[in-house]
Structure 1
């Protein structure tokens, strides 16, 4: 296969390994399972030798990683191949001739096309990852896949597929746009190899932050849609009854199946979140996500650029 396929695959898998611990926190905050201050409490407890039960085992930081590692490598490979081919077609009319300095509009468009192309991998990967990260008691990615398939078939694996595709198209448009333009501004032919490496890390990190800042509300809604039955509560039947969780793993299969079938629309879930928690709910976890995005994408772009040099030359 082509060099950009393997460079994209390996860089995507490495990016997941680097960023998964912070991604767990981001998903749980977005889904409403924890608050940002809880992360500080857990970190302080860990420093004193008494970590909270929820994060006591280091393996907890790998929750939900199996699906992204397997899926995101393929996703990233498809993303970069589609982006490079689209950019070449938009600027030269040939799929194998990538221009040296393409205009900004074509970079964004090629990135958006790449985002749309990965839908078939991205949607189920995101669904499994998010549900594995917020499930209580913890579930493996394989258990989540089995449960979704059993009660929803192929449709169950694509929960939130519509909002995921919009998020990916917009996000990856800004992703490649911000990376290419920042790289043009910061790098020069006179840079030493060490300077080039540092600037690639910086440009990759900036691209990650810009991307997530542009689509974070969409990502919050996506997470809420994909974990709705794991995190929402039924309204109280009377004033004296506390709300009960809608879905837990010990519930009978019939209840789980009903929860899957009665899922509200994406718009309804977004409106419900806004009514309950205000506009701030759509930016919950942005700080953690920005930190994660900078680290992950700095590493990911550095690995991608290095592999392209090794495979092409």
Structure 2
């Protein structure tokens, strides 16, 4: 395997480990999940929010299994595809000179991740909004059993559009900021600090550019998260507690446009930016770490 494959894999896994708790909050806000724990009146709103989303220690890593396994591979595919595409476009991955080519190569890399991104996102989002004790493995198993490969790629269309646009801006903003703020006179410490800052900036720009798409994607992939498998497989543990014992008929899945229209009609335009604040914080931290790990691993693996 090439150096950029392993550097991408390890940086992706590191980012998920750091960012999963904040990603869980972001996903629940996007999906419209409203935890309702029993709290006394003396508890502050901040504590209520925290306790509502992190009701026990295991919640901190809920839905992390699929991303750690999947996002490492996704990041590896992303960086390999980006580097190869940029080379085919006649530019150097280590020091690109044309930012438009960087955007195109990033977009191509984003599209290439579809095979991993779509099922990983679906399993992660459903695990994060589930009200029972369902694991990533049980959700993946039941999805495969009752819906086949097609079920794992539900919402794949909007996921691929999100990834193509988002990763185009991801690499573009990173290279733009690095070229703008870096200097040949920088010390190793200054270079490392600027990599962190540029990586964090790239994460914020990326999510700001695609957040409405991500909100719709999350709602598309989680629209049946309170119903499906227990009603079809008698695995009552996966059912939303409020629906236990109630013979609810299977809901019809809505299209991406229908989901977006329904979200706008019920909550207004603001719904497409719900969770952007927490997502921006997560994006800065996660992508600062990811780029630092990637750059460090590339230097380490390319040493003679």
Same fold (TM over 0.5): yes
Q: 4+ residue stretches of structure 1 with deviation over 3 A?
A: 40-43, 51-54, 247-252
Aligned-pair distance for 1:100? 2.6
Distance 1:41 1:138, change over 3 A: farther
Cα separation, 2, equivalents of 1:34 and 1:82: 39
Aligned-pair distance for 1:52? 3.7
Cα separation, 1, equivalents of 2:63 and 2:294: 24
Q: 2:85 matched to which residue of 1?
A: 86
Matched, 1:44 2:47: yes
Cα separation, 1, equivalents of 2:25 and 2:53: 12
TM-score between the two structures when normalised by the length of structure 1 = 0.85
Alignment of 1:84-233 (within 5 A): 84-91=83-90, 98=93, 100-230=95-225
TM-score between the two structures when normalised by the length of structure 2 = 0.88
Aligned-pair distance for 1:150? 2.1
Cα separation, 2, equivalents of 1:184 and 1:54: 39
Give the SS at the match of 2:132: coil
Matched, 1:274 2:274: no
Q: 1:23 matched to which residue of 2?
A: 23
Deviations 1:84-142 (A, max 9, x none): 000010015xxxx6463331110000000000000010000000000000001131000
Give the SS at the match of 1:220: helix
Deviations 1:212-267 (A, max 9, x none): 000000000000000001269xxxxxxxxxxxxxx637769x968x33xx201110
Cα separation, 2, equivalents of 1:41 and 1:69: 33
Distance 1:102 1:231, change over 3 A: farther
> Unaligned regions of 5+ residues in structure 1, if any?
233-246
Aligned-pair distance for 1:164? 0.1
Matched, 1:305 2:300: no
Q: 2:40 matched to which residue of 1?
A: none
> Unaligned regions of 5+ residues in structure 2, if any?
36-42, 228-238
Q: 2:54 matched to which residue of 1?
A: 55
